[in-house]
């Protein structure tokens, strides 16, 4: 299964995916896309010999579709990608686009809920548990069907930064698990609860 990974920043989830997919794995990263030319994850991809594309206009569906077709992409993975995927791309790849979100959706999701904003909201709400979600993508931020979630306790005295670090560690295990399950099944599938994460 050939993956395209869309990023907007340093690409820590991309790092985790690459590490989880050594040579001979049932899935491989065939393209990394970004809306930002300065995204650190692009350098990471290049260092691993993975083709990259900076989207001059992230809303240009044709640019997405041309690149995905040219690289024979089966599954699109949003890993810290902060823009909406164009509706025509969602329609063409419906059921084949994953997103990882740093909270237990549907809580703490939607427009503007990304990065530290999510963890600040979790703490402000007094939640005792948070976590990470991998879900299918549709035309609305964070709305598509959930495939897997992993929980992280909120600890007394947590700061957004400390909470973010623990949630990110779970993301780095949850996303590869969902991708490998998709590769084994030939399509994205829900993981059984409770999710068994690789250490």
Does the annotation mark 101 as catalytic? Answer: yes
What's the pTM value of the predicted model, to 2 decimals? Answer: 0.96
Query: pLDDT by residue (tens digit) across 125-148?
Result: 999 999 999 999 999 999 999 999
Contact (Cβ atoms closer than 8 angstroms) between residue 139 and residue 83: no
pLDDT, average across residues 180-197: 91
Selecting among 101, 119, 135, 172, the annotated active-site residue is: 101
Which residue, among 112, 118, 111, 66, has the nearest Cα to 92 in the 3D structure? 66
Domains by residue range for the chain, with CATH: 2-185 (3.40.50.170)
d(CA 1, CA 32): 15
Give the pLDDT confidence score for residue 195 in this predicted structure: 79
Read off the pLDDT of residues 18-69 as tens digits, 9 standing for 90 and up.
999 998 999 999 999 999 999 999 999 999 999 999 999 999 999 999 999 9
Residue 96 CA from chain centroid, whole number: 12
Query: What pLDDT is recorded for position 199?
Result: 65
């Amino acid at each position: 299964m050939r993956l395209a990974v869309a990023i907007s920043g340093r690409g820590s989830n991309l790092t985790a995916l690459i590490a989880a997919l050594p040579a001979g794995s049932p899935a491989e990263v065939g393209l990394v896309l970004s809306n930002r030319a300065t995204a650190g994850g692009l350098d990471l991809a290049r260092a691993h010999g993975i083709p990259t594309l900076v989207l001059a206009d992230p809303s240009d569906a044709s640019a997405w579709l041309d690149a995905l077709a040219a690289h024979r992409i089966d599954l699109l993975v949003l890993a810290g990608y902060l823009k909406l995927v164009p509706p025509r791309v969602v329609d063409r790849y419906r059921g084949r686009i994953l997103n990882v979100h740093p909270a237990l959706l549907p809580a703490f999701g939607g427009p503007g809920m990304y990065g530290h904003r999510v963890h600040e909201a979790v703490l402000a709400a007094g939640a005792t548990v948070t976590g990470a979600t991998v879900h299918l993508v549709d035309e609305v931020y964070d709305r598509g069907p959930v495939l897997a979630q992993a929980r992280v306790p909120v600890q007394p005295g947590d700061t957004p930064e400390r909470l973010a670090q623990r949630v990110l560690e779970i993301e780095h295990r949850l996303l590869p698990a969902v991708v490998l399950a998709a590769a084994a099944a030939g399509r994205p599938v829900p993981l059984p609860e409770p999710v068994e994460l690789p250490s």
